[in-house]
A and B are shown apart, each in its own frame.
Chain A
Amino acid sequence: MRPPRTILGRALDGDLGRSFRRSPPTVLAAAVALALILGAALAPLIAPADPHDPASLNLMNGFTPPMTPNAFTGEAFWLGTDDQGRDMASAILYGLRISLFVGVAAVALAMLIGVTLGLIAGYVGGWVDGVIMRVADIQLTFPAILVAMLIFGVAKGLTPPESRDQMAIWVLILSIGLSDWVQFARTVRASAMVEAQKDYVAAARLIGRSGAAIMLRHVAPNALGPVLVIATISLALAIIAEATLSFLGVGAPPTSPSLGTLIRIGQGYLFSGEWWILFFPALTLLALALAVNLLGDWLRDALNPRLR
């Protein structure tokens, strides 16, 4: 008799790998995502210039179109330059870094909060469950982006004015993370309620394991598959949420611009014909969000036992 296998166990053997290879869009999405992540991670090494170093800027290079030598200096830039002569390719790589960092950190925070509360709600039950899920219900009535804006505003009000710019990235992570925990909590709660009824949990309780240990060692691993799927889809949503907030001017500050901030800046040059300042950051954001979204969709279908 084969031992019962967890979803993680299934994920690690050949099935998932095979379904991955059979889906060309997924392979393409993974390649794009990998390239963007590597570009962001290695930005200080591969970027032609440090966009945040004022000494590297030459105002004469301002508004250079892509792949065209500048009329004054003769320098050429792959993706052109902005008003201050900043190399757009470098600005995008560094912006990608901030966007990805905020997205991943926010999802990690949401996952931490959601999984913890979901486990507690599902395993403990009773009024604790009632309170947690009622709060989740109320929060779910409002769009996540609105909740994130409100948290951002409040958190900004609570930080001293002189450190607001440095704190902005962390405030951003906090507000997106807090706006997105509900899905995790709901899923984990459902799994925990099912698992808590099973014999092996009763057995673990009989040999005297504590509630926390049972939750973490026995119940949590069984909820891992769905959590992974939600995390991937949440990552795409978090990246878009970050870009939206930064675009609206309630996110990453101009001193450390994310892709959304770059798009906000670029929008101002649309009418004067400097399209590349807007176009390339927008394209990068789109590629990133689409790639992560496609990976999430694929993962959801691949891990869904009903679709096998």
Chain B
Amino acid sequence: MLAFILRRLAQSALVLLAVGLIAFAMFRFVGDPIDAMLGQERTVEDIARLRAALGLDRSFVEQYLRFLGGALQGEFGVSWRLGRPVGRLLAERAPATLELALVSGVLAVGLGIGLGVYTALRRGGWLAGAIMTGSLIGVSLPTFLIGILLIWVFSVELGWLPSFGRGETVDLGFWTTGFLTVSGLKALILPSITLGLYQMTLIMRLVRAEMLEVLRADYIRFARARGLRERSIHFRHALKNTLAPVITVTGLQIGAIVAFAIITETVFQWPGVGLLFINAVQAVDIPVMAAYLMLIAALFVAINLIVDILYVMIDPRLRADRAGAAR
């Protein structure tokens, strides 16, 4: 187990170093930071001073190491577009994205598992059939069209919910939250549905398929024969045994939710990290792009690592195999 974790840690570190190299290469070779930061009126001395200040006169390896060291401390240079430190920009925008991702994730996992269990148990019922058909349409609709559709119905036609922004937020010093005001909570509804819908259908279909598989297994028949109550069979015996693949997919989808927040945040002008990133791509603001890449990479690698370890902990068979292989 320990050897497995150590090996996975080493792999993760390698991936991060590789992504760091890509981010650094972008940083260093795409566009010219001097051009971007100094205006038209500049002297040769200005350029030399800035080159030295940015460390551009040092060797490639030294610059890469300095870049990595800065990244570890949350320093990613200065945004070309906004002229402010990228680390601080990201820290300001992070609460908006994380709150949105959290609500979407809870929505996707809660509704996904619930509806998955329901459609598996009531297979053949008209409501279950309707949910399955609806989920097919939900998967085929591009995210941004779902967002626009929701805005059209609930903001333009019905006028119930806001179509953009976070509403009023409360500043807690290190964190701005939309959870504490009515307008903040209302503003969360449409974006979180837009962002979580795809993941919800995915989890639902997976849970349904796994449940149908497990319900056919012998131990479920024995549980019935022992006279256990249906509720206990469905949730204690069946659902529990479908969770291993569900955790894998859910874990990986959490990463996807953060990444797809880019699209949702653009549709709803949600002031999060994703909107910052897309504006950076539009304006070729390389420091912000590089920092976002590093951050997302760290997030994905961490999630993959946690999922792998959880998987081994949940499924004893894997543990035995690994232990056997290690010896």
Contacts and interface: CB of A to CB of B under 8 A. Distances in A.
Bound together: yes
Interface stretch (A31-39, A118-126, A178-186, A278-286): A278-286
Interface stretch (A12-20, A51-59, A72-80, A142-150): A142-150
Interface in B234-283: 255-256, 259-260, 262-263, 266-267, 277-278, 280-282
B284 A157 contact: yes
B142 interface: yes
A240 interface: yes
Contacts of B262: 145-146, 149, 248
B263 A143 contact: no
Given A138-B15, A138-B18, A282-B145, A250 B140 contact: no
Contacts, number: 92
B281 A290 contact: no
B251 to A, nearest CB: 12
B148 interface: yes
Contacts of B90: none
Interface stretch (A97-105, A187-195, A263-271): A263-271
Contacts of B266: 247-249
Q: How large is the interface on B (under 10, 10 to 19, 20 to 34, 35 or more residues)?
A: 35 or more
A154 interface: yes
A146 B296 contact: yes
Contacts of B156: 270-271
A7 B291 CA distance: 46
Given A142-B296, A158-B30, A244 B140 contact: no
Contact of A143 (B256, B267, B304): B256
A267 B256 CA distance: 25
Contact of B281 (A142, A250, A271): A250
B263 A270 contact: no
A293 B260 contact: no
A145 B258 CA distance: 12
Given A142-B300, A250-B278, A278-B148, A286 B141 contact: yes
Interface residues of A, number: 33
A244 B263 contact: yes
Interface in A243-294: 243-244, 247-250, 263, 267, 270-271, 275, 278, 282, 285-286, 289-290, 293
B144 A141 contact: no
Contacts of A263: 144-145, 148
Interface string B39-56: 000000000000000000
A94 interface: no
A289 B278 contact: no
A152 interface: yes
A168 B301 CA distance: 32
20 contacts: A142-B297, A143-B255, A143-B260, A145-B263, A146-B296, A152-B281, A153-B286, A153-B289, A156-B281, A157-B26, A157-B31, A247-B266, A250-B278, A263-B148, A267-B148, A267-B267, A270-B151, A270-B152, A275-B152, A290-B140
Interface of B: 15, 18-19, 26, 30-31, 140-145, 148, 151-152, 156, 163, 255-256, 259-260, 262-263, 266-267, 277-278, 280-282, 284, 286, 289, 293, 296-297, 300-301, 304
